[in-house]
Amino acid sequence: MNTSAESASTLDAGSGTNGRADKPPTVSTRTWTLLAAIPAICLWLSGPPTGFWPAALIALTPLMLIANMDQRISKRRYLILYLAGFAYWLLALQGLRFAHPLIVPMWILMAAYLAVYPLLFVLALRAFRDRPLMLALLSPVIWVGGEWVRNYLLTGISVAMLGHALAEVPIMIQIADLAGTYAVSFVLTSCSAAGFALIRWYQLRDSVNSKRLFVPFMIAIALVAATTWYGNYRLGQPLQDGQTTFALIGRAESIEFEQNEERSLELFHGCLRQTAQAVQSANQSLDVVVWPESMFTAGLPWIDGQASPQAADKLEYTPEQLNELCEMRRDQFLFRASSIMQNLAIMLPENQTLPDLMVGCAVVSYETGIDGYNGLIHLDSEGKVVQWYAKNHLVMFGEYVPLLTSLPVIKHWIPDGLGLSTGKGAAAMQVGEATVLPNICIETAVERVAINQLRELRGQDNQPTPTVIVTVTNDGWFDDSSVVQHHKRCAQLLAVACRKPLLSAANNGPTCWIDSCGRIVEEVQQGQEGTLIARPQIDSRQSAVLTFADYPAAVCGLAFLGTLVISCFGVRHVF
């Protein structure tokens, strides 16, 4: 018998005399370390700042080779595999450490948590360690299932999904309207599976059944061909010209977690000056000017609704006193907004109309207690509040701390701003001829948030369907790190999944105009200031994601969890 055939596992149960083959030769610690490091290196190369996307095509192949090893894998070697993933996530998310000293341990903990998923991928595939064909065929399902789990567990983290590696390859990401970024991850994992299958075919080339290992290779070719055809078809479809003009304010301000009032006013006046310049220099009427997250607050949040007796009692006021105070603060807010509009009207070129404002601003409500929201407020051309949206998906350890209210002893360790309340549901804002779905910051980086909001609005009677997603963000926390580019990639794939153009106004972040095919139409370079004038096209195409949500990925998630259980508890030689 040929040596390569002797050293390999059988292709399928029953393909040998007893359904199994001789064990492959053991690998050295050096080889094992190399196999563990290659995925981390490839994933890092495929993401920002390098953006070498071809590395993503083979990133998972070494993990499949590890899973296919028949011998016991020691805990030490699993540790090496885990540490490689940990190093990758530390590098990918290292920009988080700039936000606040308290975030540094959270950054390390997040990297430690996310490093578990490549390890779980290997453990799940170990259920098929003696069936390389089955392992190759199921690996895309298992990987996507793992991504689905991490998109929900611990509030969910969608950043740096495998599919995001192709954000700058428009023809390959159009399938995101079928199943979200998961679809792109599925195709990329199939390519890695094809690489694994070819390696195993070479090792088993003299085996009777080795040709079966061409099946994953042919499937990968078919998937790439179908993805390319679909992408070319979608990119060639005409879109309707939009009638609404947006001015996106991009700032490059340094940020501190706890800012004094003087600094907050500086940020406010910086955006105000840029707004005035945009209105003066525009050669067309602007329908709306969009400010980045939180920049409009400047010590004067919008106070919504009437105060409850409970809130008054907690603040040691009578209900009448608190309501009087709230009314006074509302009047101050509206006076400031109307003054801004009056000054803009003076600067307005002849024959142009005054724009609305959509501004990132804190909102406070005393209706059921004391609630502070990270908000996006729509002000009309007279400075009146038309509508406001409260951020639905908060940043853990950035805007809230789990168990904070249950463990008051730790409150004095936590800086102000880490006790925000969660918004309740989606909003649709009418601006000119466009209907806007507002999002704030991380909500575009957790793909399901905007998708579920669009599905929610679509199910409401007499509710106009949003035609554009507008997000405001403040990425100044992350300095000029690659976290900002990861955020932009998430937005690109989200635009395709929803088939909606996406406009982002950011501080030191992705101030950009993304069309409904995920292409960057125009952007302000990171670390620079600028104003984008955008008139996004209307995309009336249907997205399967808005009909079926992430149910296909949920099926993969169940397969991931099921095979993980079988592998860990039902099969020997996993450890």
Longest C-alpha distance within the chain, in Å? 93
Contact 72, 575 (CB under 8 A): yes
Contact in structure between 383 and 337 (CB atoms under 8 Å): yes
Summarize pLDDT for 39-86 with one digit per residue, the tens: 999 999 999 999 999 999 999 999 999 999 887 889 999 999 999 999
Model pLDDT for residues 541-575, shown as the tens digit of each residue: 999 999 999 999 999 999 999 999 988 876 544 54
Written as one string, the DSSP assignment of 510-553 is --EEE-TTS-EEEEPPTT--EEEEE-PPB-----HHHHHTTHHH
Residue 203 vs residue 244, higher pLDDT: 244
The tens digit of pLDDT for each residue in 370-386 reads 888 999 999 999 999 99
In the block, residue with structure tokens 């599976």:
193
Residue 387 CB-density burial (10 A; 0-12 exposed, 13-18 middle, 19+ buried)? middle
% of the chain surpassing 70 pLDDT: 89
Mean pLDDT to the nearest integer, 486-497: 97
Is residue 275 within 8 A of residue 561, CB to CB? The reply is no
Q: How high is the pLDDT of residue 39?
A: 98
State yes or no: pLDDT of 408 exceeds 60: no
Q: What is the CA radius of gyration of the chain?
A: 26
Residue with tokens 């991009």: 250
Written as one letter, the residue type at 451 is: I
Q: Contact, 550 vs 182, CB < 8 A?
A: yes
Average pLDDT, the chain: 89
pLDDT tens track for 118-144: 999 999 999 998 899 999 999 999 999
Active site residues per annotation: 293, 391, 441
Contact between 250 and 506 (Cβ < 8 Å): yes
Q: Is 4 helix (H, G, I), strand (E, B) or coil?
A: helix
pLDDT greater than 50 at residue 202? yes
Three state DSSP letters for 163-193: HHHHCCCHHHHCCHHHHCHHHHHHHHHHHHH
Domains of the chain are: 3-236+551-570 (no CATH), 246-540 (3.60.110.10)
User: What pLDDT sits at residue 10?
Assistant: 40
pLDDT per residue over 340-360, tens digit each? Answer: 999 999 999 888 899 999 999
Structure tokens at 483: 């976290």
Contact present, 287 and 356 (Cβ < 8 Å)? yes
Do 524 and 512 touch, CB atoms closer than 8 A? yes
CA dist 371 → 304, 364, 365, 367, 443 (Å): 10, 6, 5, 8, 20
Which residue shows structure tokens 């009056």? 342
The span from the first CA to the last CA of the chain, in angstroms, equals 30
